[in-house]
Structure 1
Amino acid sequence: MATLPLNVNHLVVLAAVVEHGGYTRAAEAMGVSQPSISQQMRDLERTCGLPLVRQRGRRLEATHLGTELAALGRRIGLDAERGARLVAEHAAGLAGKVPVGASMTTAAYYVPRALV
């Protein structure tokens, strides 16, 4: 089975283009330039060898393949955000395990109240 060298960043860009209906709004939402979005979309369509979006009036609309790849891009983007949050929480000491030692009486009566 042949595989295409899909760039996950391009899939995230495709998801933004589909969600926002165009390159300019996607670029604004992502905080990048519109030419950067256009180039990444050209690269992705060239890699796939098929169109992923088409013009519908003033908006871009995903093709069937574009819709499926955009869904992958959304999931990748969400997972990347989740990963970044995990790193930030661990770096700030807000995540992880904290061992607590206590006698049976303290563990039964005081620790639950302290954790709430």
Structure 2
Amino acid sequence: MQKTFSQAFIEHLEQSDLKVTEIAIRAGVSKDALYSLKYGKSQNMAVDDAIRVAAVFGKKVEEFLGLSEAQIRSTLAEKVARLSSREQAILEASLDAILSDIYDHQVAEARDAIEEEEPG
């Protein structure tokens, strides 16, 4: 069974010398949100916040949660299989848009890097 973000947070907190306040400052999230995780009032948090909290511990979210790539793919496949054909089409279109945005961003970054290297 996959652990919750709260469970992973508690494990990482116990294994580190970091304090909740320090993590909140470094991650740019509220102390209250982290205390809610620590004391079990909430099990998960917003994706953007989770990414930043995991980064404080030097990890990606999937590493923070202890998931392997195979587990991630399996979980994703199971969830997609539960969707209707229409919902799968919407998901596919959304993923295409996200990947297109990522590609466009990478191309723009590469172009900017090349322009910076060229003599003026």
Same-fold call, TM cutoff 0.5: no
TM-score class, shorter-chain normalisation, is 0.3 to 0.5
Query: Normalising to structure 2: TM-score of the pair?
Result: 0.32
More strand by share: 1
For the pair shown, the structure with the greater C-alpha radius of gyration is 1
Q: Which has the higher contact order (CA 8 A, sep 6+)?
A: 1
Query: Normalising to structure 1: TM-score of the pair?
Result: 0.33
